[in-house]
Amino acid sequence: MRNSNPNPMPSVRFPRWIIWLVLGVIGLVFVFAVLSSFWYFEVINNDEVGVKIRSGQIVGIAQPGIVYDFGLFVQLVKIKTSSVAITVDDAELITSDKQRIGLQVTADVFRPTTADIVTSNYARYKTIYIDDASLQNRMQAFTLQAMKVCVGDKKFDDAIIGTGRDVLRACIDDELSKLAEPIGLEVRNVAVPQVTISPEVQAALDAIVQSRLATEKAKQDAEKAKQESTASQAVEEGRIRVEQSKLQEEARQQVTLQQLQQQKLEAQLKVIEQQTVNAKAQLELTKAQQQIADEQAKVDLAREIALAKLYAENPAYVSLLIAQANASAIKASDKFIFVPAGTFPNLIFGNGLLPTVSLPQ
């Protein structure tokens, strides 16, 4: 019997080792999937905590670091502890005086890190703890509830004007914390960045503001006129006071100048008196010094005076002293020529020399 298929498909044969390799990989994957229920070895980051579960029961809360365990049906569930930002808008909020406003509220939500809180709430709020979308949905509902409560308790002006917004923000923060605390969540950084109002309310507010501005302007104009009058009067009074002060200061300066001049004259008089005293003292000192000098001169000349008197009374003694002086002046080598008075001696020297010394006539 002939084959009716004109183009039979060729059969593909794989090497046996490839088949065994594929089967081995499949087997390893299966074994790993089965064994993963009996052990784990993981790293918990700084923004996480780990819930350690064994046989369906929570056995502990692991802090950041390396965590491992072996046992029957063990599991580690990581919970993010970093902030989850929420932004909630509500354009239809009614105040206690029946006004409509819109709010936008932002906040940061943190999951629990304390072991007791995580252990007690994990079974009931597991989805909120591990899924950001579930957490945001729950917190959006809480925020809407808090916004309605806080806005509904306040009048329009108290909710959006001045410090009323800070009070409103604090109210929403408190209400959110009350709602989030039972499930172990912490709310921080609550803010009310946007407040919206309807066009009708905006127009009414603008009219009120304009009226207030006109009233304030009128008050300010009246106050300005009053202040200008007061200022003008104050300027004139100040000018008069300045003139009076100037005259008083000039008089005071004149008195002070006279006092200074008097003090100067008194000081000069004291200087003159002191100079007179010093001159008198100097004169007395000079007289005393002159007397001392005179007495000292008398002492110094007493011997000469006594000798002069002795010489005057004893001329023979004077002649003796002159002879002794002359005798003491003559040396052994001296030569003397004695001639009669009024004569000139003739001196004869060898080699044609002539006398060269003139004698008195």
Average pLDDT for runs of 10 along the chain of length 361? 52 70 74 59 82 78 79 78 90 80 90 87 88 92 91 77 80 92 92 79 70 81 83 83 84 87 87 88 86 81 80 82 77 70 65 52 51
From the list 110, 104, 113, the residue with the least C-alpha distance to 135 is 110
**What tokens does 130 get?**
């591990």
Q: What is the predicted pLDDT for the residue at 188?
A: 92
Q: Which amino acid is at 256?
A: T
- According to DSSP, the residues that pair with 80 across neighbouring strands are 48
Q: What letters, b where the CB count within 10 A reaches 16 and e where it falls short, cover 208-238? A: eeeeeeeeeeeeeeeeeeeeeeeeeeeeeee
DSSP state of 262: H
User: If one looks up domain 83-197 in CATH, what number appears?
Assistant: 3.30.479.30
Instruction: List the structure tokens of 66.
Output: 């390396």
Please state, in angstroms and rounded to a whole number, the distance separating the CA atoms of residues 177 and 139: 10
pLDDT of residue 330: 74
Q: What is the largest CA-CA distance in the chain?
A: 214
Helix (H, G, I), strand (E, B) or coil at 261: helix
Domain borders along the chain are: 31-79, 83-197, 220-311
Cα–Cα distance measured from residue 334 to residue 356, given in angstroms and rounded to the nearest whole number: 18
Which pLDDT does position 30 carry in this prediction? 66
With CA atoms as reference, report the closest residue to 167 among 158, 176, 175: 158
Residues 6+ apart with CB under 8 A from 334: none
**Hunting for tokens 């000039």 — which residue is that?**
250
| Rounded-to-integer distance, Cα 146 and Cα 124, Å | 23
pLDDT of residue 334: 67
pTM: 0.48
Q: Residue 115 class from Cβ within 10 Å (0-12 exposed, 13-18 middle, 19+ buried)?
A: middle
Distance of CA 247 to the CA centre of its chain: 48
Give the list of residues 6+ apart from residue 37 with CB closer than 8 angstroms, or none.
73, 74, 75
Which helix (H) or strand (E) element contains residue 192? strand 186-197
pLDDT value of residue 32: 60
Report the C-alpha gap between 104 and 195 in whole angstroms: 7
At 182 the pLDDT is: 92
Task: Enumerate the β-bridge partners of residue 42.
Answer: 67
